[in-house]
Amino acid sequence: MLLAGDIGATKTSLGVYSMEKGPREPIVEETSPSGQYPSLEVLAGEFLAQANLDVDSAVFGVAGPVVGGHATITNLPWIINEAQLKKKLHLKSVFLLNDLKAVAQGVPLLLDPDELYTLNKGELIRGGTKAVIAPGTGLGEAFLTWDGSRYRAYASEGGHTDFGPTNPLESDLLHFLRDQWDHVSYERICSGMGLPNIYTYLRESGHAEEPVWLAEQLAEAEDPTPVIVNAALDTETSCELCKTTLMLFISVLGSETGNVALKVLATGGVYLGGGIPPRILPALKQEAFMQAFLNKGRLADLLKNIPVYVILNPKTALIGAAFYGLELYKERH
């Protein structure tokens, strides 16, 4: 049996899988807040002790770059090492992969109609490259290519590439953020940590006033992002500052999604993962996202034919990690 995990800065999902049931039917599964544990060894050890199952290998999708069996969670103070996990958890093998590679690996397994929402139907090319972009706590990007028998996923750190403004408002935002950081990436804007950056810029530059009730909520909140998003989507409160924040976020996300689609020529579709897109789906359905996605000059017509989906299944990364681990076992045996 296989232990699979989706290790994020906010939460960690773990599950035990078997060859018989496959990657979509865990024998046992649990999600825990990552920040309440000092390390993955402690969290996974506690989970395995409670599960009391004969697990001999593990695959973890982790929110950060994986190099030589080592990983550091980008937005969490965990250092993860394959050899150390193998020893501490008493397993025969442990394999780490980037969390977006895990999400990408799970994409071809999303077969139920309620697991995807179509933003742009396009024209799906069989065997075409697929792209994944996932704004959550951070911004992850990955892609899949067809090898003749199945899709294989590849990780990237594309979310940390240079932010490129497409209009005067975005240019002003870049200048504002450059006063705080030497390097402004797309993750500084298109992520859970990015939304408050946009909000602060719009508030301090006088684009809209901050309501007193909102200032009070933000002062009490541990994480300002849900407060901003909820106010933006609330049709009764009509908070112009939050609505503008969300629309600027969506515009930049649409632009970067188009960038990713062009870079890998994603004729097999682009998939929006992470925790934010399903939450803001009503706003994504509006024209701003697709306008920014298609704003690529001479290649706009090419992008019109690329399908764009929102991933609605929150367990996609866990499914992908489990699939990867079970396939790895089959290849080795």
**Tell me, what's the pLDDT at 9?**
79
* Gap between the terminal Cα atoms of the chain: 14
Question: Which DSSP helix (H) or strand (E) runs through 251?
Answer: helix 240-264
**Cβ-based neighbour number of residue 245 at 10 Å:** 26
Q: Is the Cα dihedral 80, 81, 87, 93 positive or negative?
A: positive
Entry pTM: 0.92
In what order do the strands lie in the sheet containing 270-272?
116-120, 308-311, 270-272, 130-135, 139-146, 151-155
The CATH code that applies to domain 113-312 is 3.40.367.20
Nearest Cα to 93, choosing from 137, 58, 41, 52?
Answer: 58
> Where exactly does CATH 3.30.420.40 map onto the chain?
2-105+315-332
Rounded CA separation 137/64 (Å): 12
Rounded CA separation 189/173 (Å): 9
pLDDT in tens, 224-267: 999 999 999 998 878 999 999 999 999 999 999 999 999 999 99
> In this structure, are residues 292 and 166 in contact, taking their beta carbons and an 8 Å threshold?
yes
> Where exactly does CATH 3.40.367.20 map onto the chain?
113-312
pLDDT in tens, 119-152: 999 999 999 999 999 999 889 999 999 999 999 9
Does the pLDDT of residue 74 top 80, yes or no?
no
Rounded CA separation 333/250 (Å): 46
Does the pLDDT of residue 300 top 90, yes or no?
yes
Rounded CA separation 247/235 (Å): 14
* DSSP β-bridge partners for residue 285: none
> In this structure, are residues 55 and 48 in contact, taking their beta carbons and an 8 Å threshold?
yes
| Topology classification of domain 2-105+315-332 | Nucleotidyltransferase; domain 5 (3.30.420)
Rounded CA separation 195/210 (Å): 15
